[in-house]
Amino acid sequence: MTRRPVLALCLALAAAPALAGPAELDILPGWRTAEGTQMAAIRVQLDPGWKTYWRAPGDAGIPPEFTWEGSSNLASVAFHWPTPELFATNGMTSIGYHDQLILPVELTPRDPARPIRLRGRADIGVCSDICVPFSADFAADLDGTADHQDARIAASLRAVPTSARAAGVGRVTCTLAPERNGYVLSTSVAMPPAGRGEFAVIELPGLPVWVSEARTTRQGDRLDATVDVVPEPGQPLALDRSKVRITVLAGGNAVEIRGCS
């Protein structure tokens, strides 16, 4: 996702050296699942008053990035993001976590009989009165012998958004229309209310585009959300509707919806 003009101030502050102490990052090794994957977690512990961001951080946030260079016996990584919070920052909305983030990561080994040698780097934003970058290398050797669940990781797994099916979501439609600077993507979701203050987040994973904050309205059992979509200069937009992801946040609850017709 491209960086947005409204982030100019925050990113300018982020160009300064990282402050000492606002965050610490480590790996919780977790356990080997019945499917043969390793359920571990990235833990970010924050100083009082500091927050960090969800995968889609909002107009006032900084998107997190993770790399896995140096790892071995690692075929794939799947993130299980717990339900985030909404924060108001200078009239804009950011989405993330305060105090602590335990982010479950499900690691698939190439060879289930061998340990996973996990090596990587996290580049995240942390904010209080100002925003600063925070980067940390991490390493863990996961031998796959632990089979008991870590209660901290299990709690974060229980906090992931509810699936569309479990939330009673029905038909999901979306339409894409051109406008002067890009496109308008309008979505309509048949679903009962998720809670107070519903706030929809629309993501287009894998596309080099900027997606605005959604304009969210409800009419009975239908939730409508509309965003502006701006591709990188000179790039066309090829929308795969099966990959559109809509997350509805409401008073500590969340529903995740994948795909639209």
The residue count of the chain comes to 261
pLDDT mean over 168-181:
95
pLDDT tens readout for residues 114-167: 999 999 999 999 998 888 889 999 999 999 888 899 999 999 999 999 999 999
Contacts of residue 75, defined as CB under 8 A and 6 or more positions apart, other chains included, come to 108, 109, 110
Mean pLDDT of the chain: 90
pTM of full prediction above 0.75: yes
pLDDT band at 9 (very low <50, low <70, confident <90, very high): very low
According to the model, what pLDDT value does residue 180 have? 87
Cβ neighbors of 179 (< 8 A, separation 6 or more) are: 228
Dump the DSSP string for 82-131: PP-EEEEETTEEEEEEESEEEEEEEEEPSSTTS-EEEEEEEEEEEESSSE
When pLDDT is averaged across residues 79-100 and rounded to a whole number, the result is 92
Contact 57, 125 (CB under 8 A): yes
CA dihedral over 54, 55, 59, 62, signed as positive or negative: positive
CA 206/CA 218 separation, integer angstroms: 28
Burial label for 22, CB within 10 Å (0-12, 13-18, 19+), is buried
Question: Is pLDDT of 212 > 50?
Answer: yes
Sketch out the chain's domains with CATH numbers. 5-158 (2.60.40.1250), 162-258 (2.60.40)
* pLDDT band, residue 247 (cuts 50/70/90): very high
pLDDT, residue 21, reads 63
pLDDT computed for residue 17 by the predictor? 38
